[in-house]
Homo-oligomer: A and B are copies of this chain.
Amino acid sequence: MPGYPVLPAGLAYGGDYNPEQWPEDVWREDVRLMREAGVNLVTVGVFNWGLIEPREGQFDFARLDRILDLLHSAGVYADLATPTSSPPTWFRHRYPGSRLVDEGGRVLGGGSRHSFCPSSPDYAAASERVVAALAARYAGHPAVAMWHVHNEYGWANAHCHCPVSAEAFRAWLREKYGEVGALNAAWGTVFWGLTYGSFDEVEPPVAAPPGLLSGLRLDFMRFSVDAHIACFRRERETIRRFGDQPVTTNFMIPNCKPMDYRRWAEEVDVVANDHYLVAERPDSHIELALAADLTRSVAGGRPWMLMEHSTGAVNWQPRNVAKRPGEMRRNTLAHVARGSDAAMFFQWRASRHGAEKFHSAMVPHAGVDSEVWRDVVALGADLRRLGGVRGERVTAEVALVWDWESYWAVEFEWRPSADLRFRDRVEAYYEALWREHVTADFVHPSADLSPYRLVVLPSSYLLGEAPAKNLHRYVEAGGHLLVSCFSGIVDENDTIHPGPHPGALREVLGLTVEEFHPLREHETVPLRRSGDPGGTGPAGRIWSERVRLAGARAVHDFAGGPDAGHPAVTRNDLGGGTAWYVATALDPAPGDGAHDADLRGLVAGVLDHAGVSRPRGLPDTLEVVRRGDHLFLLNHADAAVTVGGVTGTGVLDGAAYTGSATVPAGGVVVVRP
């Protein structure tokens, strides 16, 4: 069976390569420049279906033959894509039943990509045919190092509501539930009298009056993931009939909410991810770190591939703020530090046509006399120097729980507060850890938690009975658990656990919640340390609730708002471990001052209690990550930082560090013993 690693040695470096957009004399310049920059892998053929199968069943591989031969002659490997994310116009024209239908019943138009139904049998047949032809021709080509199936599954067609999809959904439900009574029980259809008499009566969740069955929504999301995974498997199995190179597809972690990448990760030989900054966002590098840690985590800790990121601005955000000097390098090396064995970009050469012509590239419109190109060449050199990190692992003492199903469910309509968003909560806790220089994994709550000193549950609303027991056992066995509000409320069917909230976590937390008290927009409530009437503490947002202790003890109380005088942060010692609970939404604040008053201070205390090791006394703008025996120090501030306790060789700069290292403003130092 094929699998990781992909290249003979070192880290992969390159990008999406679309030579079909250029005359052949440009191709020759391309490979010359690739060699100059140290590019060793390019993704080819992502949007080639219409070119290699210009008419149904008629294939023309002449151009692709020349491209792959040229790459091979230059020593550049190909990540050969199947072109199935953008079916040819003839396919759409000839098979109108394959068109994508949105939740309002609109048949979506062509002229873009992804505008097809993932459950379409016509699409299945046509895509299998083209993949078979491609694999038959190129599985033996020496340039082909790996297969890149499709492109960004679910980017625009995560959910299709056409009649074909509806029928496929009903078949999926029959398979899952066996008989309709089981479905009715799971979805609680007795509420509002929505009991189904047969599976035939089920429709996908289209535009409807409010209050739609959340079980229907949840299962349709699950079904849709399966529909896309089935497309992937069909292509993967077709390829394997011909070749044994690793097969992957590019994920969009964490920015394609409908795709449950935990399940996707089981399907690929190596996890590959596309990541783009939210450009206007301050400290977007923290979101990048989260994405990289989450990607590594869905990959089970194994090295993964950064399949796309950008040298500068993207084109699809409202204001495509470009990267500042040094930012591309820090971004790339942060991904490598957190487990990537590749540094790939979209795309090699900026396009003159089409939707993405204002997307940055390795070869920009300005050409090679440009900062971007010089940075690309320099990055190639950096990556060569870092080749020794390939295959190394990142270990973490802390894990955050991330369950896509809970993410979906907590943001369905008609929750207590529309302001309580999963991403907001997980990012707040992640940022607090990042600023404390702690690297974290992400886990499903049913995972083996024994490797971790601390597990954090940020608003893990949906939590089944088995995962809850897993958490309980973890604490009893000496683990430390930090839970934020509105966790453990419902089971996997979005049914509230019996008894007082939080049903799945009452025992481990040693408390119940009598009533939720969502706050008004922009309202805050002060907290203070229990037993310290004059003290100050962090201010909560969004949420307050009436906690009743049942074994736990209060650490902080609400000092205002609807629950003034009642517990806000609690601690429960259970077996050998401890479970904390935070009954409101707290946020970390940037800066290196005292953090009594925010989430960072609270997290720091829990880390100390849990014995999580981490460097001390460093500014909270310095990113510190260990991968294998490499220590990465990435300085996101405008002033240099000197870090003590660092001895070894500078991998990028060749310096000898004895006891301390100074990281320049905006710079990166990597040290190896």
Interface residues of A (CB under 8 A from B): 18, 20-21, 47-51, 54-55, 83, 86, 88-90, 92-93, 100, 102, 104-115, 155-157, 187-197, 200-216, 280, 312-313, 315-316, 318-322, 324, 351-358, 360, 364-367, 370-372, 413-419, 493-496, 498-501, 512-521, 546, 562
Contacts and interface: CB of A to CB of B under 8 A. Distances in A.
Contact of A112 (B213, B357, B500, B515): B213
A55 B495 CA distance: 26
B47 A192 contact: yes
A369 to B, nearest CB: 8
Nearest to A325: B562
Nearest to A110: B203
A8 to B, nearest CB: 31
Contacts of A113: 192-194, 209, 211
How would you classify the secondary structure of chain A's contact residues: helix, strand, loop or mixed? loop
A115 B205 CA distance: 13
A609 to B, nearest CB: 30
A370 B514 contact: yes
A207 B108 contact: yes
Contacts of A372: 515
19 contacts: A20-B190, A47-B191, A50-B189, A88-B193, A89-B201, A93-B200, A109-B207, A113-B211, A187-B353, A211-B354, A313-B516, A319-B416, A319-B521, A320-B416, A321-B518, A364-B515, A365-B501, A366-B515, A370-B515
Contacts of A192: 47, 86, 112-113, 354-355
B353 A195 contact: no
Contact of A319 (B88, B358, B418): B418
A155 B211 CA distance: 12
Contacts of A50: 189, 193-195, 197
Given A194-B50, A197-B89, A366 B514 contact: yes
A212 B112 contact: yes
B112 A518 contact: no
B109 A208 contact: yes
A-B residue pairs, 10 tightest by C-beta:
A188-B353, A191-B354, A211-B355, A156-B209, A47-B193, A109-B208, A109-B206, A89-B201, A112-B209, A50-B195
Nearest to A417: B319
Contacts of A360: 515
How many copies of this chain?
Answer: 3
Counting chain B CB atoms within 10 Å of each CB, the highest count among A320, A414, A498, A520 belongs to A414
Given A209-B157, A354-B188, A366-B500, A517 B193 contact: no
A421 B87 CA distance: 34
A244 B224 CA distance: 52
A86 B413 CA distance: 19
Given A191-B21, A513-B366, A203 B109 contact: yes
A291 to B, nearest CB: 21
Nearest to A202: B89
A216 B111 contact: yes
Nearest to A359: B414
A201 B415 contact: no
Contact of A210 (B18, B214, B316, B562): B316
A109 B216 CA distance: 12
A190 B197 CA distance: 50
A105 B207 CA distance: 12
Contacts of A109: 203-208, 212
A61 to B, nearest CB: 15
Contact of A191 (B207, B356, B418): B356
Given A111-B205, A213-B354, A352-B496, 14 more contacts: A21-B191, A47-B193, A48-B193, A50-B197, A109-B207, A191-B351, A211-B316, A280-B520, A313-B515, A319-B519, A365-B496, A365-B501, A366-B513, A370-B514
A178 to B, nearest CB: 18
A371 B514 contact: yes
A208 B108 contact: yes
A47 to B, nearest CB: 4
Contact of A212 (B89, B111, B204, B516): B111
A562 B114 contact: no
A345 B240 CA distance: 62
